[in-house]
Amino acid sequence: MSGTATRESGAHAPGPVTMSPERRPSPATLAARETASAATRAALDVSRAAKRIGACGTVAVLDGLNLHALGRASVPHGLGPGANLCTCSALARDGGLRQLWLTPAALEALGLPVELPAKPGPHGFLEHFGTAPASQIALAPRLSAWGAGGSWALEVLVPSWDRRSPWRRLTYAPALLAELVDFVDATGMLWKGSGAVTSDAWLRAYYGAKLERLEWPPPAADANLEPNLLTARRPLEDEARARWLMAFDVNGMYLSAASSLALPAGQYAHEDEAPASPRPGYWHLATGWAATPTMRAFPWPFAPELEAYTWAESHRYLEPWYRTLRDGRTRLLETGAGVALAALKSVYREGVGRFGSVARTRSDDPLYVPYWRHAVQAEARTRLERHVAGLSQSPVAVDVDCLFFLTAARKPERFARALGLRLGDGLGAFRFVGMAPAREAREALEEPNIHGAVKALRELVKMGDDNAAK
């Protein structure tokens, strides 16, 4: 896995959906409902604006030449065709803004392309006073400018230029502002262009100078050390008569796994004989190197002669990160902020993958922490493996956090109870994803390649709405 810990997908709904796939609303219908819901909440936010404080008031959306910010709307002076970062940055100084979001209408008003070219080059919009990243020589979905001595800073974000952005489809300024305010209000985070960078930014702000670059042993460099769970098998005899394929996935599996992990601090030690009690580290098992959560779940007795790289010191670095995202998730589920919730989901999903990424601007970045990624993935996978082992029926396939079953049952809730799956909105509980005819599922399982079989099953139940609540 590179950069992304897991594909967490699906939609939160008041209750399980049992309609067949061909009767489900189209993506365009779902998008229209989402925008209408956000627009309604945008009107309510105006009436509550006086009560909203903090970072929420530092975010604004430019729509055409109209500036929408919390509790106010105005036409900024000097903006128009040919405007550049210099004129936009005046908003940061004069209006106390830290982020300016541009809608497609704003792009047209500023003389910017609505679609980002495949190979964007230098552009007059990038002219500004102050400083900017050395790499910022072309238009990009996230641009930055700073004043002398860091007296002010402004980020310009263009979601329509980023095909992976959870904010991309919100082109109506009040609806976009409402979702942004919900996200900031629930998490205390400003969106930094991607879930991975937003996660990093929050951890840097929280720990500050306490973060120190660690030295890592050789097993840490293996990006595939702790693989995601991916299995598929042929149907058993009784499953050959099943009528339905049903899919259930785990709510926030990787976020839940990060809650209480002991993570390395200080210097590691290479040991020919493993310590008496498992510490954070890498262990050489019969199957190869593995992180501590996998070693603890290993089916063989603990062998003291195992070679290991371990840390005597540890800290629960991800516990405050987990609590912030857990509480923000709960709040956004209550408010119904679908796009903001999808953005939050990408913070922990992409954030875990980011821990092991070597694509960094600093070679000594203290947030290059591959063991964090390995440990979260291992803890999440082993928890799911234990859960699957206790079910009354084994799944025909597992795709990271999603279980697929062939069954004669028609009611997902009843089938889940019989299996031993707990359905609900809480972290670690299961959510019904969808269902499809078993005949088509059996055909998909004939695919000899596991990846191909799982992909076919995923398409059958129409999984993967990134704007869904978990």
* pLDDT tens by residue, 339-383: 999 999 999 999 999 999 999 988 899 999 999 999 999 999 999
Evaluate if residue 18 carries a pLDDT over 50: no
Question: 291: helix, coil or strand?
Answer: strand
Q: What is the mean pLDDT of residues 46-68?
A: 72
Mean pLDDT for 79-83 is: 83
**CA-wise closest residue to 238 among 392, 18, 60:** 392
Considering the domain boundaries, does residue 305 fall inside one? yes
pLDDT digits (tens, 9 = 90+) for 250-285: 999 999 999 999 999 999 999 887 666 789 999 988
Residue 129 lies in a domain: no
Tokens for 350?
């992409």
> What confidence score (pLDDT) does residue 92 get?
79
* Residue 303 pLDDT class (50, 70, 90 cuts): low
CA distance 253 to 399: 12
Instruction: Give every CB contact of residue 277 below 8 A, 6+ residues apart in sequence.
Output: none
**Average pLDDT value for residue range 30-34:** 55
Answer whether residue 329 is part of any domain. Answer: no
- For residue 75, what pLDDT is reported? 74
pLDDT for 106: 95
3-state helix, strand, coil in the chain (%, to 5): 40, 15, 45
Lowest model confidence (mean pLDDT) among 58-67, 128-137, 152-161, 406-415? 128-137
Question: Which of 338 and 54 is assigned the larger pLDDT?
Answer: 338
CA distances from 429 to 116, 381, 416 (A): 40, 15, 11
Q: What pLDDT was estimated at residue 201?
A: 95
Per-chain mean pLDDT for the chain: 85
Range with the lowest mean pLDDT among 74-78, 143-147, 251-255, 364-368? 74-78
466 has a pLDDT exceeding 70 = no
* Residue 203 included in any domain: no
Structural domain contains residue 299: yes
The two tokens of residue 155 are 């980020």
Does the pLDDT of residue 128 top 80, yes or no?
no
Confidence of residue 302 (pLDDT cuts 50, 70, 90): low
- Give domain status of residue 271, yes or no: yes
pTM check: above 0.95: no
Range of the structural domain that residue 281 is part of: 262-315
In a domain, 306, yes or no: yes
Q: Structurally, how many domains does the chain consist of?
A: 1
DSSP string, 385-414: HHHHHTSSS--SEEETTEEEEEES---HHH
Q: What is the 8-class DSSP label of residue 18?
A: -
Domain-located, residue 468: no
Largest CA distance in the chain: 73
Spatial CA neighbour of 317 closest among 363, 375, 269, 364: 375
Say what the pLDDT of residue 215 is. 96
